[in-house]
A and B are shown apart, each in its own frame.
Chain A
Amino acid sequence: NAGVTQTPKFRVLKTGQSMTLLCAQDMNHEYMYWYRQDPGMGLRLIHYSVGEGTTAKGEVPDGYNVSRLKKQNFLLGLESAAPSQTSVYFCASSPVGFNEQFFGPGTRLTVL
């Protein structure tokens, strides 16, 4: 099992550009999450999904959109990137019940 994978690993964007981060899990987990991690801030939840076709806002959703068209995939989109979105993005998944979360390796995004 690959667990949770994220694509790409690194990306540099210019202000105003758009991009999509892809998260895939092969553990048949119902729940998936997108976090961002900034120095001294810890992990902050952007959006999450409790099942295929459903999404919900987390703590810092502004400037991001998500989609969960397939159970194993969770996409995070930035429509118009801003320097404040420079961060490391982590995807995670968990079985039903919001218990132990399994994290991907992260995507380091820089917005110039």
Chain B
Amino acid sequence: SQKIEQNSEALNIQEGKTATLTCNYTNYSPAYLQWYRQDPGRGPVFLLLIRENEKEKRKERLKVTFDTTLKQSLFHITASQPADSATYLCALRDSSYKLIFGSGTRLLVRP
């Protein structure tokens, strides 16, 4: 069956460190993958999109990698801040061009 897996355990890191979140998928060949941020009680907010022919994408302190051989995307936040605390969702486009979301990983950045 097709699956998207994100670590269900919260990631707890110290302010200033780099946070790395993982998104693994099976039985998909997505054309692109997206990352969203979701704060409690709010809707997800789009952060980054990376296409299958791109290895890496950056936006300010954010970096996303996409390894289609490993079927994995890594999402990095450098110089993390308490304001980065949120749940981060990965999503990929399936063959019928709908977005399929992972269940998200909660990030907690301690001051």
Q: Which of A60-68, A76-84, A98-106 lies at the interface with chain B? A: A98-106
Contacts of B46 in A (CB 8 A): 100-102
Q: Is B1 an interface residue when CB atoms closer than 8 A count as contact?
A: no
The verdict on A41 contacting chain B, using a C-beta distance below 8 Å, is yes
A48 close to B49 (CB less than 8 A): no
Residues of B within 8 A of A35 (CB): 101
Query: C-beta contact mask, B70-101 vs A, less than 8 Å → 1, else 0?
Result: 00000000000000000001010100011111
The contact of B49 among A59, A100, A102, A105, by CB within 8 Å, is: A100
Known: A35-B101, A45-B98, A101-B46. 18 other contacts (CB 8 A): A40-B8, A41-B103, A42-B102, A43-B44, A43-B89, A43-B101, A45-B99, A58-B98, A90-B43, A90-B44, A98-B99, A99-B49, A101-B44, A101-B99, A103-B43, A105-B42, A105-B43, A106-B43
A40: B residues at CB distance < 8 A: 8, 103
What total of chain B residues lie within 8 Å of the partner, measured CB to CB?
21
Q: In the complex, which range does the number of interface residues on chain A fall in? A: 20 to 34
- A-B pairs, top 3 by smallest CB distance, nearest first, are A103-B43, A42-B103, A43-B101
> CA–CA, A92 to B38, complex, Å?
14
A103-B43, A106-B41 are known contacts. Are A98 and B8 too (CB-CB below 8 A)? no
Residue of B89, B91, B101 with most partner-chain A CB within 10 A: B101
